[in-house]
Amino acid sequence: MQRIQDSFDRQSMMSTLGATLVSAGDGKVVIEAPILETSQQQHGFGHAALTFAIGDSASGYAALSLMDDGMEVLTAEMKINLLAPAAKGPLRAVGQVIKPGRRLMVTQAEVFDGDTLIAILQGTMVPVRAS
């Protein structure tokens, strides 16, 4: 958890979006973010990039939670289906590892706005040795 919190804290984008790491461990990570006035699209809803940001990060840290110390994680690819507008906030992303692996980890994430599922993500993470 501490390793993931440290990495999370070094991401200035997470701070810009007001995101916080709620929990992390054993292949599952939860991240929350409000819909700041600075994170909106043209109709005042949360921007798709906000939803992507926390869904992708929750996925990546879920993968990192299963890796050895001294490893880091890169997103190779991520697909998002947007289901409903991000209307109220806070948004909550729940990422988990579907298939761990030494070379690739496949992840899924759900993003909620209150009780409403607003996005699902399916992606691939790559473990890399920390430099």
- The residue ranges that bind a copy of itself (CB under 8 A) are 7-8, 10-13, 15-17, 37-43, 47-50, 52-53, 56, 72, 74-84, 98-99, 103-104, 106, 108, 117, 120, 122, 124, 126
To a copy of itself, the closest distance from the beta carbon of 102 in angstroms equals 11
Query: Taking the alpha carbons of 107, 101, 24, 76 in that order, is the dihedral positive or negative?
Result: negative
Q: Which is nearer to a copy of itself, 30 or 105 (CB)?
A: 105
CB count within 10 Å of CB 97 equals 21
Q: Which is nearer to a copy of itself, 22 or 104 (CB)?
A: 104
Q: Decide: 31 and 23 in contact? Cβ < 8 Å.
A: no
Q: Which is nearer to a copy of itself, 30 or 108 (CB)?
A: 108
CA 66/CA 59 separation, integer angstroms: 12
77: left (phi over 0), alpha (psi -120 to 50) or beta: beta
To a copy of itself, the closest distance from the beta carbon of 56 in angstroms equals 6
Give the DSSP letter of residue 38.
T
Q: Which is nearer to a copy of itself, 30 or 39 (CB)?
A: 39
To a copy of itself, the closest distance from the beta carbon of 107 in angstroms equals 9
To a copy of itself, the closest distance from the beta carbon of 40 in angstroms equals 5
Give the DSSP letter of residue 26.
T
